[in-house]
Structure 1
Amino acid sequence: MRGNTMFAYLTTFALLAAACFLPLEAEFLYNVSCHEENIELRCPEGQVIRLEDVNYGPPTPAICGARDQRVGHYSSGCISHVTGIAFSMICNGWEYCRLPGKHRLMNLCDETYFLEVAYSCQKLSKSSKTVNTCVGGTAKLTCDKGYIVIDRTNHGRLDTNTCTEEPENVTWCINPVNSRLDELCGGKTECEVPLNEGDFHHSLECGPPPYYLSVRYSCKL
């Protein structure tokens, strides 16, 4: 069942990911992972990630010593296209994400490699707000003007330290719950959503709890 649900998630995001993989041009940012290092993508405040490309190849000291530089030469056939789809699912629409440098979905044909992720930062609307809520807390969404529009949600874990006393290593636990939040809050001027353990089920690459709810919404006039 878990594998079928995961496939459904990946299929849902396939078109989104395909649209992201464009020819690399100026204004792109890069993060290069060597030796199975985790990957971190970050945009300035008020902007969010759009994944553009994922590449793979043999490492060299020069490549591994410049993690924010474009590599420019790659291998082919050694990385699964599912990697890009999964990375898009995790990162797109958030200011920050942290990805695994090695994962079973990558289907790499060589244990020694670099992994390059190219991404851009897209501006959010001025009315956009993000709320993170821990289990036992209540997400509070308010619009001084206009009504609530749910833009992006996740119940899981996308960083190491939110809602936990001990840093968590697995930060790619995704479970979009847009439809549920839209049902509860969409079209209202204010909304409160209590978060209890077990409210949402997880199906894609989750480590142990605690999880938390992230909601990004905007106020439409």
Structure 2
Amino acid sequence: MLVQKLSWITLLLFLYQHEAKKMVVCEGESARLNCDLGFITVNKANYGRTDCKTCASGKPANRISNKQCRAEASLSIMSARCDGRKSCTVPAVNSVFSDPCVGTYKYLDVSYECIPAKRSVTCENGESIIKCDKGVIHVHHANYGRRDLVTCPRNKLTTSDCYSPQTSSLRSRCDGKKSCQLSASNSVFSDSCVGFSKYLEVTYCCKKV
């Protein structure tokens, strides 16, 4: 009976995590995305302004009147920084997203979910294999660069902001296969941040055929 209750609790937690989560942070603050179970997948994102009420307290009318303010690269930037991770923090600032509407007070509006997946990390110049005992590989996200200072540590690491999404490339190489060999090298993915130690991280699931 206890085992059955624990199974139901685990299922409910998973369903809760898998539901889309919505987050809004005002310009100058930071969005903190988190998945206790699974890995982040950003569904929608906009840095800008689409109404006159959000993050409007104390702001003059001329700074919140523009309702057509959208940074077109918002989703790709959020995906590059957060997809495939357990947690991430992204500042809602012009230096990250650029300024889509000068003079307008903006906010970051994000929708994401936590998906069940496996994660593989291959340090630069290394090789590894991802595989499925049942089903075939489907790549959710891949990045060749560096998104933290802990993974594949090297001496004198000074940056964790090296984003080079490789999702499309890895899907073409690996999707639909039972196993797929990965090589984490500049000759395969090019050097997105010259002089810095990188790694290839891939999140994937095993789909039924």
Task: Give the count of matched residue pairs.
Answer: 174
Match of 2:88 in 1: 97
- For residue 54 of structure 1, what is the amino acid of its counterpart? Y
In the TM superposition, 1:24-43 aligns within 5 A as 27-32=21-26, 34=28, 40-43=32-35
TM-score (norm 1): 0.59
TM-score (norm 2): 0.62
In the TM superposition, 1:63-78 aligns within 5 A as 72-73=55-56, 75-76=63-64
Match of 1:106 in 2: 98
Displacement of 1:47? 4.1
- For residue 46 of structure 2, what is the amino acid of its counterpart? D
Over the matched positions of the two proteins, sequence identity in percent amounts to 23
For the residue of structure 1 that corresponds to 2:170, the secondary structure is: helix
Q: For the residues of structure 2 that align with 1:153 and 1:134, how far apart are their CA atoms?
A: 13
**Deviation readout 1:141-169 (Å, 9 max, x if unpaired):** 12111111222211122233322334543
Q: For the residues of structure 1 that align with 2:160 and 2:30, how far apart are their CA atoms?
A: 10
Match of 2:45 in 1: 52
Match of 1:14 in 2: none
For the residue of structure 1 that corresponds to 2:111, the secondary structure is: strand
The higher radius of gyration belongs to 2
- For residue 173 of structure 2, what is the amino acid of its counterpart? L
CA shift in 2, pair 1:139/1:97, >3 Å:
farther
Gaps spanning 5+ residues in structure 2: where? 1-19
- The answer on 1:158 being equivalent to 2:147 is yes
Counterpart contact for 1:134–1:212, Cα < 8 Å: yes
**Deviation readout 1:46-75 (Å, 9 max, x if unpaired):** 14142433247xxxxxxxxxxxxxx63274
Q: For the residues of structure 1 that align with 2:120 and 2:134, how far apart are their CA atoms?
A: 18
- Pick which of 92-101 and 130-139 moved more: 92-101
**Deviation readout 1:11-55 (Å, 9 max, x if unpaired):** xxxxxxxxxxxxxxx952345563xx7654333331414243324
CA shift in 2, pair 1:136/1:130, >3 Å:
same
Which of 131, 134, 142 is the aligned partner of 1:142? 131
- For residue 136 of structure 1, what is the amino acid of its counterpart? N
Match of 2:207 in 1: 220
For the residue of structure 2 that corresponds to 1:181, the secondary structure is: helix
Gaps spanning 5+ residues in structure 1: where? 1-25, 57-70
- The answer on 1:209 being equivalent to 2:201 is no
Match of 1:131 in 2: 120
In the TM superposition, 1:13-32 aligns within 5 A as 27-32=21-26
Q: For the residues of structure 2 that align with 1:55 and 1:202, how far apart are their CA atoms?
A: 31
CA shift in 2, pair 1:200/1:146, >3 Å:
same
Match of 1:81 in 2: 71
CA shift in 2, pair 1:103/1:175, >3 Å:
same
- The answer on 1:178 being equivalent to 2:167 is yes
